[in-house]
Each structure stands twice: as C-alpha cells, then as structure tokens.
Amino acid sequence: MIELPQRRVALTLLAHPDDAEMFCAGTLIRLADADWEVHIATVAAGDCGSTTLPPHEIAALRKREAITAAGKINAVYHCLDEPDIEVVFDKATNRKVVDLFRRVAPTLVLTHPRHDYMLDHEQVHLLARAASFSYPIPNASTLTLIPGSAIPWLYYCDPVEGRDPYTGKLATPTTYVDISSQLDRKVEMLACHASQRDWLRAHHGMDEYIDAMKRNGGERGRQKGVAYAEAFVHHRGHPFPQSDLLAQLFGEA
C-alpha cells in the first residue's frame, strides 16, 4: 500500500512569471484537482519582459497576469521581486527563499534543472535546492516552523525545449506525468500571460508561445504513449525522500 504524505502542499519555485505555466502547470492542475494546496513562486519580477514598457510597468503587468493564471487553479502566487537577468545565489536572495519556504512549508517542490538555457534558471535551481534542504532546520529562519515541516520531495522540470543546453540532447527524465486531459486548462493558464504571448506572436508571426508548449508536451507524451506529458527528474540525494511521489500519485514512473 502506498503511503502518501499527510501534508499536501506543492510549491513551484521558478525564475519568471509564466515559467510554471510553461513547464509544470499540467501537473499543478492534477495536484490541485487532488485537493493539494498549490503555491506558484517566481524569484524574478519579469521586468525585462517587454521591448516597449519600462521595467516597473511590465513587472506590475506580469505580476497581475501571474496572479490571474494561478487563480485558475486556486493557487497562491508569490514573487520575490529580484530583477531579471540578475538572479544570483547570494545571502540576501537565499534568505528570501528560505523564509518563503518557511511560510509555505512545502511537501513537494518543483524547480528548474541544473542546466538550462539561461543563468536565471540555473541560479533558481540552486536556491530551491538549498531551501528545500535547510528550511526545516529550526535555526534556519526566525519565522515560526509550521508543524509537519520536513525536507520535501524535490523535482526538476524539463529545460527549455527539453534539451540540455550544453549537449543539445534531450534531457533524460525519471518521471512523466500524463497531462493529456489537463492540456486545455494548461493552455488557458499560459494564455493569461498575454504580454509575453502577444510579443512572441508579433515577433514570430505565429502563436509560438502556445505552440512551443504543446510541441514539447507532445514530444514527452509520445515517449510514454500518451498525447501530452510533463517530464521531471526526481532529486534523490541524501537526505531527500527516495520514493517517487509523482509516480505514486499519477502512475507514470
């Protein structure tokens, strides 16, 4: 018999508004439908996400878009307000992330892979991994330790296009989640980020924002014999949970 955690709180810590909707929203939808509490957090504010608006205006717009997208699944959105292209693993940012984890006390964490196409993503990987390990330590934060706080299950989402940026080869997942039935809702969440979708439509002359997400999901789905899937790597380092929680929940190891 599978023993699932009593505390059911999922947290994505990713770099920018729309990253969760691009890489793992299908899984978040399945978790929310299974009565998990879902939090979507970004380290950066998205202030470089426009060629026409100044930083403070596009950051405010992208925050509103992220809140709207999270609301589609009754999730809570958090932003740590670091500037785009300046995300770093340092004491101040690490403190922000540890305190966020302390307030949320996640059971399950989804974040970027170690190798990805831009350094904001790779630095967030380090921040999430560090906070996952340290947040339950009583002296790690002055914030109250929520009962049930423990080192969470930690998973890394696919890199952009599912490919290692150094080799160009497809990344090798440990876990797939079938999101075929959730795709339309994932599209709806991603489309909330209209400032990014409109920019890419103008630049590419096609709805590449949505098409790229579908293309990557379809490629992962074909590997598992389903229409669409999201792929993850389960972190199994000491002393993280060793069982594959996503596979236990959704049966796609």
Give the model confidence (pLDDT) of 84-125 as tens digits: 999 999 999 999 999 999 999 999 999 999 999 999 999 999
Q: Tell me: the pLDDT tens digits for 19-42? A: 999 999 999 999 999 999 999 999
- Between the CA of residue 149 and those of 3, 31, 169, what are the distances in Å? 17, 19, 37
Give 37's strand partners.
9
Rounded to the nearest integer, the mean pLDDT of the chain is 95
Q: What is the rounded average pLDDT of the residues 161-174?
A: 96
Domains of the chain (ranges; CATH) run 9-250 (3.40.50.10320)
Q: What is the pLDDT of residue 28?
A: 98
Tell me how far apart the alpha carbons of residues 37 and 26 are, in angstroms, rounded to a whole number: 15
Tell me how far apart the alpha carbons of residues 72 and 62 are, in angstroms, rounded to a whole number: 16
Task: Please report how many Cα atoms fall inside a 13 Å half-sphere around the Cα of residue 223, on the Cβ side.
Answer: 20
Can you say how many angstroms the Cα of residue 112 is from the centroid of all Cα atoms in its chain?
7
Beta carbons within 8 Å of 101's beta carbon, 6+ residues apart? 11, 131, 132, 135
